[in-house]
Amino acid sequence: MPSLHAHRAVALVAIVCMLGCPQGPEETTVDSATSDPDESSSSSSTGADATTDDTTGATAGTAGSESESESGATTSSSTSSTTAETTAGQGVCGDGEVQGDEECDDGNDNDLDACLSSCVLAGCGDGILHDNFGEECDDGNDVEDDGCNSQCARDRYVFLTSTATGGSFGAVSGANSHCKSLAQDAGLPNPLTYRAWMSDDIHSPDEWFLKSKGRYLLTNGTVVADDWDDLTDGTIQNPIDVDENGVDVGSGAVWTNTTPQGLKHPESADCLGWTTDEFPIKGRLGYASRVDEEWTDAVDNPELCAGIGHFYCFEN
């Protein structure tokens, strides 16, 4: 049996421990023992989940961006493809290849050649003058009486000379020079293109006149003929009785030696090539007051070259 001293020693140790021993280990043990493992696990798990959610969110965002990017790229590619197909179907004007609705494509933007920069063939009525294709004018419309008709031919003037002379005036060339001089003095357009409606034994207006598709007008604007064909069909619309200044001369004889068709008369009489007014040499003439064939070939032809006659002067 333990001695009294042993009991006292144990009791003393217990008291000392109760009063002075550190409580840390006990607290640590108690805390550890009383901690709720589910709560700790839940907290830990929640943090992990949050991390996972963040990561998932980032991943989802990235995936979304990639998806949107891919979608955008696909849409862009699809649109580009569609545009390319559409363009290919319609043609690209200026690429040098005729496609779709293009009439031509010469690969340049020169509007003065046969293919316009709009890939349409150049032609009368496009508003662009192509004199290398025979156009004299192009006002972009088909109005016939505005100075430039639907065939892109311009109006031309014709007049009766204000002066008259005998049958000697230096041949047809002399008459041409006189027409040019009068036209220039009167301020008419293109004065150096004027020629006399006159034939000799060799040449005639049919040979050296421009056979215009445009109208022939008196200097006061009155229409003589719609074009060359109308001028030479046997009659004219109005008499050529107005001079270079727009003054009405009235009736008068006109040296011609020319048929209504613009040819040298088959019974030629030209005052010896329009070089003499000596008796009894004769020349053929017309009358300025007439619109039938006698405007250029009078029924009482030929007449003496000593007589007086005017010239018909035509712009060419």
Q: Which one-letter amino acid corresponds to residue 38?
A: D
> In this structure, is residue 243 part of a structural domain?
yes
Pick the closest to residue 129 from 152, 107, 146, 145 (CA basis).
Answer: 152
Neighbours of 292 (CB within 10 A): 13
Which pLDDT value is given to residue 71?
A: 45
- Torsion sign, CA atoms 225, 226, 228, 230: negative
> In this structure, is residue 306 part of a structural domain?
yes
Q: What share of the chain is helix, strand, coil (3-state, %, to 5)?
A: 35, 10, 50
Residue-range definition of the domain harbouring residue 256: 156-314
Residue indicated by tokens 């805390």: 31
Which pLDDT value is given to residue 90?
A: 63
> In this structure, is residue 215 part of a structural domain?
yes
Return the structure tokens found at 162.
């204000």
Pick the closest to residue 215 from 295, 141, 292, 150 (CA basis).
Answer: 150
Q: What is the DSSP letter of 194?
A: -
CATH code of 288's domain: 3.10.100.10
> In this structure, is residue 183 part of a structural domain?
yes
Return the structure tokens found at 50.
């949050």
Which pLDDT value is given to residue 47?
A: 39
> In this structure, is residue 16 part of a structural domain?
no
Cα 71 to Cα 63: distance, rounded to the nearest angstrom? 12
User: Are 84 and 76 a contacting pair, CB within 8 Å?
Assistant: no
> In this structure, is residue 247 part of a structural domain?
yes
Cα 250 to Cα 68: distance, rounded to the nearest angstrom? 91
> In this structure, is residue 283 part of a structural domain?
yes
Cα 199 to Cα 258: distance, rounded to the nearest angstrom? 6
Which pLDDT value is given to residue 208?
A: 94
> In this structure, is residue 110 part of a structural domain?
no
Regions of the chain where pLDDT drops below 50? 1-88
Q: How many domains does the chain have?
A: 1
Residues 6+ apart with CB under 8 A from 156: 212, 214, 215, 216, 217, 314, 315, 316
